[in-house]
């Protein structure tokens, strides 16, 4: 994943190897190679699931496909001799609808697909997942960016999710459940799986389904130019097809997004001149990826990137249109500058602060411990991070006299900065849906250091307390984690102007 090559919140730890389950499976006659269920809600309120099935054969003979949904509906399909693909449609009368957290329950129905040999009645293969019934669309009229679920607009309160560990094989379902509970406690209703990480595990999306947390899924492209020629393009297509198919069953999955900050990078970070006419990924974000989503998952919206203003010719980070990322606050401006923004949707913003003292001490053994001691500086990967922490105190809190003061005051300033930003963004929502419909901040983990995140290492940072306050979080979109899985607040400089570098 891109972030393991170094970011402004995490270390450079490039990994390689097989880290997810692997094995050998034997089969005869035929097996289920691919199952892609697309669940919808009709205008009459009934559920409909179209189950696309692809079989791999070892023998040419007729096969049957049996589909059941939670004991509520049953349908049969046929795979004639020589055929490998079919689609079976199930109608479920008036199912309970799946809702985002805070809007209603999250009923899930077990979907079972059975591949059988009709000549013997033998079951050849079985596939099971849970599905939910809900409609979802993205309202972009007049520059808006509003997720609409079951015909109700949702004010997003989110976190940008980064991988929960630099070594992803160490992430368990129990650890993910703890992170999700922390997000719920902070008032979140959405997690954005950030494009510098990875496609998450089945456990991740299962937990999101259960807890009613919407998932915004970035394709894994972030802060870099990507070639569109040769074998790389074929790999991109194959990977995208695999994961769009794999995740189709999850009702929590709300949006596919092409990339993180690459459109802005090309338009505003000097990439155009440095590339000298070479490809950089635009064909993926505006061509290949939306075509794959339209073909394999037409039930969900696609957005080319974030930030993005809705049309290729427009400035990507325009507060009046689409999604924006706010990083002038923290990099160059005081947090009170949040009040000058009236955005449509903030997909990223944040403010750095040190982690809990116990977390810091588990990683740093410097004696004496100071803001400038070697271990502390090693974990501070943001460009001029400590300087920005000190400048951020000006006009708000006194100058620290020792390490304990520095640790307390910079944490407190982070909490106040985030509470201020969240409260302002929330204030734009009541009665003003046409103006603002969501925001996202940072919540990370990975290793101890000064983060923009709600958790760092094993412990919560100062930010979540501010987010849980009624002023900061009860219905605002300002909490989208950009960290949750494998990033740490003290990391290396990113390949482009993320939060740790000036824009």
Report pLDDT digits (tens) over 206-228: 999 999 999 999 999 999 999 99
Cα 175 to Cα 465: distance, rounded to the nearest angstrom: 20
CB 247 within 8 A of CB 217: yes
Q: H/E element holding 470?
A: helix 470-473
CB 436 within 8 A of CB 352: no
C-alpha atoms less than 13 angstroms from C-alpha of 81 in its C-beta half-sphere = 4
One digit per residue, pLDDT tens: the chain, 503 residues?
999 999 998 899 999 999 999 999 999 999 999 999 999 999 999 999 999 999 999 999 999 999 999 888 999 999 999 999 999 999 999 999 999 999 999 999 999 999 999 999 999 999 999 999 999 999 999 999 999 999 999 999 999 999 999 999 999 999 999 999 999 999 999 999 999 999 999 999 999 999 999 999 999 999 999 999 999 999 999 999 999 999 999 999 999 999 999 999 999 999 999 999 999 999 999 999 999 999 999 999 999 999 999 999 999 999 999 999 999 999 999 999 999 999 999 999 999 999 999 999 999 999 999 999 999 999 999 999 999 999 999 999 999 999 999 999 999 999 999 999 999 999 987 543 445 566 666 544 444 556 666 666 555 554 444 444 322 222 222 223 232 222 222 222 233 445 544 33
Cα 150 to Cα 98: distance, rounded to the nearest angstrom: 9
Cα 203 to Cα 64: distance, rounded to the nearest angstrom: 30
pTM score > 0.85 for this model?
A: yes
Six token digits for residue 102: 């805070």
Q: How far is CA 197 from CA 147, 311, 439, in A?
A: 23, 26, 20
Mind giving me the DSSP string for 348-377? EE-------HHHHHHH---SS--TTSHHHH
């Amino acid at each position: 994943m891109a972030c393991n090559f170094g970011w402004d919140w995490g270390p450079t730890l490039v990994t390689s190897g097989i880290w997810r389950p692997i094995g050998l499976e034997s089969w005869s006659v035929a097996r289920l190679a691919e199952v892609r269920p697309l669940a919808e809600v009709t205008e009459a309120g009934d559920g409909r699931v179209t189950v696309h099935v692809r079989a791999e054969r070892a023998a040419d003979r007729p096969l049957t496909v049996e589909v059941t949904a939670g004991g509520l509906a049953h349908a049969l399909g046929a795979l004639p001799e020589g055929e490998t693909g079919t689609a079976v449609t199930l109608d479920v009368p008036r199912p309970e609808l799946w809702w985002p957290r805070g809007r209603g329950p999250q009923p899930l129905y077990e979907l079972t697909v059975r591949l059988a040999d009709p000549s013997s009645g033998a079951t050849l293969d079985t596939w099971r997942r849970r599905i939910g019934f809900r409609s979802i669309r993205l309202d972009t009229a007049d520059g808006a960016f509003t997720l609409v679920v079951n015909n109700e607009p949702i004010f997003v309160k989110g976190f940008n999710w980064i991988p929960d560990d630099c070594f992803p094989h160490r992430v368990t379902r129990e650890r993910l459940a703890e992170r999700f509970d922390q997000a719920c406690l902070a008032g979140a209703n959405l997690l954005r799986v950030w494009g510098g990480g990875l496609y998450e595990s089945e456990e991740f999306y299962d937990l999101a389904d259960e807890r009613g947390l919407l998932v915004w899924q970035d394709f894994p492209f972030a802060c870099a130019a990507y070639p569109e020629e040769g074998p790389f393009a074929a790999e991109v297509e194959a990977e995208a097809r695999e994961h769009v198919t794999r995740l189709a069953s999850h009702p929590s999955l709300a949006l596919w997004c092409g990339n993180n900050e690459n459109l802005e990078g090309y338009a505003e970070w000097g990439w155009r001149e440095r590339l000298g006419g070479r490809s950089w990924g635009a064909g993926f974000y505006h061509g290949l990826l939306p075509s794959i989503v339209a073909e394999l998952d037409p039930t969900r919206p696609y957005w080319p990137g974030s930030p993005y203003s809705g049309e290729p010719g427009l400035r990507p980070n325009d507060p009046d249109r689409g999604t924006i990322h706010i990083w002038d606050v923290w990099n160059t401006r005081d947090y009170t500058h949040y009040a000058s923004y009236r955005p449509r949707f903030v997909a990223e913003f944040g403010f750095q602060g040190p982690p809990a003292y116990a977390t810091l001490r588990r990683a740093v053994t410097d004696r004496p411990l100071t803001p400038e001691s070697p271990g502390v500086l090693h974990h501070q990967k943001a460009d001029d991070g400590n300087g920005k922490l000190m400048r951020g105190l000006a006009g708000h809190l006194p100058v620290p006299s020792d390490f304990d003061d520095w640790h307390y005051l910079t944490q407190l300033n982070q909490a106040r900065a985030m509470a201020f930003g969240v409260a302002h963004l929330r204030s734009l929502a009541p009665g003003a849906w046409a103006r603002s419909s969501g925001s996202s901040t940072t919540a990370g983990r990975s290793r101890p250091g000064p983060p923009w995140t709600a958790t760092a290492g094993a412990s919560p940072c100062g930010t979540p307390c501010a987010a849980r306050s009624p002023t900061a979080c009860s219905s605002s979109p300002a909490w989208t984690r950009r960290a949750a899985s494998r990033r740490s607040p003290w990391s290396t400089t990113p390949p482009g102007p993320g939060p740790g570098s000036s824009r």
